[in-house]
Amino acid sequence: MSTLVERAGLALLHRLDPETAHGLSLRALRLGLVPLPGPVTSPRLATDLAGLALPNPVGLAAGFDKNAEAVPQLMRAGFGFIEVGAATPRAQEGNRRPRLWRLPADRAAINRFGFNNQGMEPIAARLAARPGGIPVGLNLGANKDAPDRARDFATVLAHAGPHIDFATVNVSSPNTEKLRDLQGKAALSALLAGVIETRDDLARPIPVFLKIAPDLGEAELAEIAEVALESGIDGVIATNTTLSREGLSTPSPSDQGGLSGAPLFEKSTRILARLSQLTEGRLPLIGVGGVGSAEQAYEKIRAGASAVQLYTAMVFSGLSLAAEIAHGLDALLERDGFSNVGEAVSTGRERWL
């Protein structure tokens, strides 16, 4: 439950430009000004995700801590796992401001950042210095001007791989021109082959996940499912932000960029459920998009997810939301007689198909 202090802090931050407010929230986190609940777990919540032991299945999505600046603090914020990045080989500024908008009436946001980050070297150095605890992963990206974008993903993994617990191949951001073209069957197969080869050369091989877009047609999704099963990756994250503006109650402030938050919940959950059906439970799935409550996290799990991630909902509810969802999910599992998360996976998939 958010505290009076947290609600007051959010009210102040919402008076500022969204990107400035985000930077200040990360700084407050690093300075110890944000109360942290520590690990949240129970026998029902503890789960395995592609070999990763999670205290609970509620994760932090990439994008909140792009440069891995607050990893020790986020590890104590109630999440079961966190993902930082996206990281590219070289630092890049991303797109020009304004590039982030809040949509309070819809509990949503639009961003067109364009993989702004400090580059893999400082990010990897911070990850190398992190404490032990929950699994920490890195979202892999490609530089906008790279002559061979597919190679960039393997480059970042080779450099940062020794310091992370999992990696995510992000070919689904809508904010780097033609990046989503890499979701095509031939291009994706080649890209993943390079990433898996790099992963296998690490002294400690780690799970590799693929993050997909919600704006895929049936044939495209079927191709991705086929490639995912053949490539040797360890799971799929469904989904990234959407280019659609469907579900907004107010005019969109930008026709560019990805929409996240509450309006994405149904669309991303339908993709998740269909992907679960196509892969026949042979790959763990991570459900992302519009998760803002324990009930919604539970719905993603029952649609086919082994774990979930959140980000945009915290813009409106605060960091305490992670622990709140984890505790609420534990109660829902107990209510329905499940002894662990795995037992609930896909039990409600049919309603989304």
* Active site (catalytic) residues: 173
Q: Could you say which DSSP state residue 131 is in? A: P
| C-alpha distances in Å from residue 70, one per residue of 156, 260, 297, 332 | 20, 22, 24, 31
Q: Among 329, 316, 286, which Cα is nearest to 139's?
A: 286
Q: Give residue 8's Cα distance to chain centre.
A: 27
Q: Among 130, 41, 35, 109, which Cα is nearest to 330's?
A: 41
Q: Among 299, 139, 153, 274, which Cα is nearest to 216's?
A: 274
- Alpha carbons 209 and 309: distance in angstroms, whole number: 13
3-class DSSP state of 215 = coil
- Alpha carbons 169 and 142: distance in angstroms, whole number: 10
CA neighbours closer than 13 Å in the CB half-sphere of residue 255: 0
